[in-house]
Amino acid sequence: MVAETAAVERAVAVQRAEDALARLAADPSSVEDPLLAVALHRGLRDGADPRPLMGFLSTRQPHYGHHNALRYRWGLSWRAEPGHALYRRPAGSGAVHWRPAEAERFARDPSAYGRRFMEPIVLAAHLRLWGDLAENASDPKLAGEASSLLDEAMPVIEHDVATWFTAQDPWRDTFGLWLLSAEPQAVARLRDLIFSLAVRYGGIAARTRVVLGLRHPFHERPLVSASAHLAMSLWRMGVYPSVIPDLVDLVRTSQGSSGAWADGEQPSDILTTLAAADTLARLDPGFDPSLTVDWFVRRQERDGWWRALDPEVPWLTAAVVDWLALADRPFPDRFAWPSAPVWTRDRLTGLTTVATLDELGHVLDGLPSLGALPMEAAFVDLAGFGQWNNEHGQARGDELMGVLGMALRELPDVLAVRIGGDEFLILGKPGATGLDVVMSDWRASWPACLDAAGMPAVVSPRVVIGEAQGSGLRNLRRLLGEAIGRLKVDYASPPRTGVQRRLREGV
């Protein structure tokens, strides 16, 4: 009964939040709100029209100056005020501040505080909206206008993100890194900057183990918030895996009895809790989100909003709703493999390399609950590849490797790694099953891939699948390699769709 009541309360909270965002998206006066982009993007699936906002933005001209709130056509929060009356706090409701220890800093210069707070949020929101419209809008005119809007803004966006490299504000810098690294449109346009920022703070964390504050009231104190931001960002970008376990451990051991988190001796706050809960939900299968779900539900405002300060309300409300949906899914569905930096991928196949595989092993070893989950893996080699290479030349062999790499990259929910030559390792998600079916379906489609590429090659995949705890990945890889050798003996000339075998337990 308690669980059923909690589920109903959560569903009601989510619906109230979605209704609040829909009201913002539908209000004609919201075009001046820089976070209308959040509500519009959510509403696109239900027919929300972005053209009024685009029309409004076309009448604006960006201003100059790094601290100018109108250096983008969409503007930024001014004096950290709400962008629209729909989420302005009722008169007499009292001040809200997510970090009371910084209230004096905020009162001294609310404009500077608001910029620090809102820049990453607004950039991520507009990169998502206009990037998705540029790629997917059915109206070519709208797609072209969205692309032009981003093209105009990109030099300013790049400059703003580049200022975070000074590492003088660990919370703001890692907050921005966390937001941008989670947004595919941002990664597509700012990959080098995001990667470099991750390296910058990964290097700092390698010296200090966790992210430390630099100014009062958090000077040289561990920041749970920034450590959570950084852990998730490093994982997504595939860099500095050696520091992720310490960052996650700080987050995991800092949760309060209410299910929430805070920095230092502050009361639990919604932004630290969101970042910490997001990181643990995605990387720690031992994390129980139920207390945190209840904490979020209790802190929703009557009109459906969640609030940390004021100007961020639409973004924060959408982010909490998304996290509540994430928390309701089983761990394998929450987990995602990291992307390998472009320059570390195998040149021929575009896949990650064995060096990255070794780095992932450090994370699985350092996060006990993650490493304890069973993980399926498949070892793949191509029968007939050597003969094809000899008969048609190395250039055609390289083309064939490219076809194979593209086919393996399209496999759902796995990480494909080139071990060397024509040998590959396919990793299923920790705790997930079904790799046998995935590989069987892939083998069945393989001849069509070759035919589409104009390669009537008789090269057939041989596949061996096994399972072990994630922390035993290195040993599993060895066992699979030995088993593929036996499969080569048994099937020297397999059919065009290849052959597949399950590694017997204990072999």
Single-letter residue type at 337: W
Question: Tokens 């100018």 identify what position?
Answer: 68
Q: Give backbone dihedrals phi and psi of 78, rounded to 5 degrees, phi first.
A: -110, 120
Over the Cα atoms of the chain, what is R_g? 25
Question: What is the per-residue pLDDT for 216?
Answer: 87
Q: Quick one: pLDDT at residue 326?
A: 98
DSSP per-residue letters across 318-377: HHHHHHHHHHTS-HHHH--PPPPPGGGS-TTT--EEHHHHHHHHHHHHHSHHHHTSEEEE
Is CATH 3.30.70.270 correct for 342-502?
yes
Nearest partner of 382 among 360, 358, 407, 357, judged by Cα: 407
How far apart CA 411 and CA 405 sit, in angstroms, is: 10
Tokens of 42: 């959510």
How would you write the pLDDT of the chain (507 residues) with one tens digit per residue?
A: 557 778 999 999 999 999 999 999 999 999 999 999 999 999 998 889 999 999 999 999 998 887 788 899 999 987 889 999 999 987 666 666 688 899 888 889 988 888 888 999 999 999 999 999 999 999 999 999 999 999 999 999 999 999 999 999 999 999 999 999 999 999 999 999 999 999 999 999 999 999 999 988 999 999 999 999 999 999 999 999 999 999 999 999 999 999 999 999 899 999 999 999 999 999 999 999 999 999 999 999 999 999 999 999 999 999 999 999 999 999 999 999 998 777 778 888 999 988 888 888 889 999 999 999 999 999 999 999 888 888 888 888 899 999 999 999 999 999 999 998 889 999 999 999 999 999 999 999 999 999 998 887 678 999 999 999 999 998 999 999 999 999 999 999 899 999 999 987 544
List % helix, strand, coil for the chain (3-state, nearest 5). 60, 10, 30
For residue 347, list its beta bridge partners: none
DSSP state of 75: -
CB atoms within 10 A of CB 213: 19
CA distance linking residue 291 with residue 314, whole number of Å: 24
What pLDDT does 507 receive?
41
The token pair that represents 289 in the structure block: 């989100």
Question: How many Cβ atoms are within 10 Å of 1's Cβ, its own excluded?
Answer: 5
pLDDT for res 443: 96
pLDDT at residue 98, rounded to an integer: 81
pLDDT of residue 96: 66
Fill in the amino acid letter for 87. Y
- CA atoms of 471 and 50, how far apart (whole Å): 48
Q: What angle do CA 452, 390, 385 make, to 5 degrees?
A: 50
Distance of CA 278 to the CA centre of its chain: 10
